């Protein structure tokens, strides 16, 4: 087993739903980084049974909205000098911009070049967001 507990500086993404780690990895573009990254899958968890976990040795700024949308419940811990300096628990963001796109072919966001479309959380349970222009529902 590799010892990954001693992270000097970086970010730990914990409590990722088991099986979702790789998706998070891709969605955050971690495959494009040169930093040391560890993806652990199916780690034993007292709270969740099994979970995925990602450790990144970097001071990169992550898009927490993407992460919250993809995997609400993820715990993000920032590590400096081997100590946790900041910890936050993600939840579904109220608004997302530039992540979702509208599926309605008649929506103005699909017929005109308007830039990133803002979506507002419409149904938390179903992770549905409403388009700012036509109110059509979208999910990741
Ligand atoms: Zn729309």
CATH number at residue 59: 3.30.70.140
* Residue 3 counted as domain residue: no
Is 1's pLDDT higher than 70? no
Task: Note whether 41 and 65 are same-domain residues.
Answer: yes
Helices (H), the chain: 21-27, 64-70, 108-111
Question: Total domain count for the chain?
Answer: 2
Q: Which residue range is the domain that position 85 belongs to?
A: 10-89
| CA–centroid distance, residue 113 to ligand 1 (Å) | 13
Cα–Cα distance measured from residue 76 to residue 55, given in angstroms and rounded to the nearest whole number? 10
| CA–centroid distance, residue 120 to ligand 1 (Å) | 11
Which residue, 55, 58, 53, is CA-closest to 38? 55
| CA–centroid distance, residue 63 to ligand 1 (Å) | 23
Cα–Cα distance measured from residue 74 to residue 67, given in angstroms and rounded to the nearest whole number? 8
pLDDT band (50, 70, 90) for residue 5: low
Partners of residue 51 on adjacent β-strands: 17, 43
19-63 pLDDT tens trace: 999 999 998 889 898 999 999 999 999 888 999 999 999 877 888
| CA–centroid distance, residue 132 to ligand 1 (Å) | 7
Task: Note whether 117 and 75 are same-domain residues.
Answer: no
Tell me what the pLDDT averaged over the chain comes to: 91
* Residue 82 counted as domain residue: yes
Residue percentage of the chain with pLDDT more than 90 = 69
| CA–centroid distance, residue 121 to ligand 1 (Å) | 14
Task: Note whether 24 and 60 are same-domain residues.
Answer: yes
């Amino acid at each position: 087993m590799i010892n990954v507990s001693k992270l000097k500086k970086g970010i730990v993404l914990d409590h990722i739903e088991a099986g979702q780690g790789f998706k998070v990895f891709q969605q955050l573009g971690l495959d494009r980084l040169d930093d040391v990254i560890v993806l652990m899958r199916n780690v034993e968890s007292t709270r969740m049974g099994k979970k995925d976990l990602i450790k990144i040795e970097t001071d990169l700024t992550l898009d927490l909205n993407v992460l919250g949308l993809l995997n609400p419940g993820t715990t993000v811990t920032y590590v400096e000098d081997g100590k946790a300096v900041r910890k936050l628990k993600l939840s579904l963001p109220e608004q997302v911009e530039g992540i979702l796109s509208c599926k309605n072919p008649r929506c103005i966001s699909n017929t005109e070049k308007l830039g990133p479309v803002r979506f507002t959380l419409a149904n938390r349970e179903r992770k549905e967001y409403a388009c700012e222009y036509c109110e059509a529902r979208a999910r990741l």
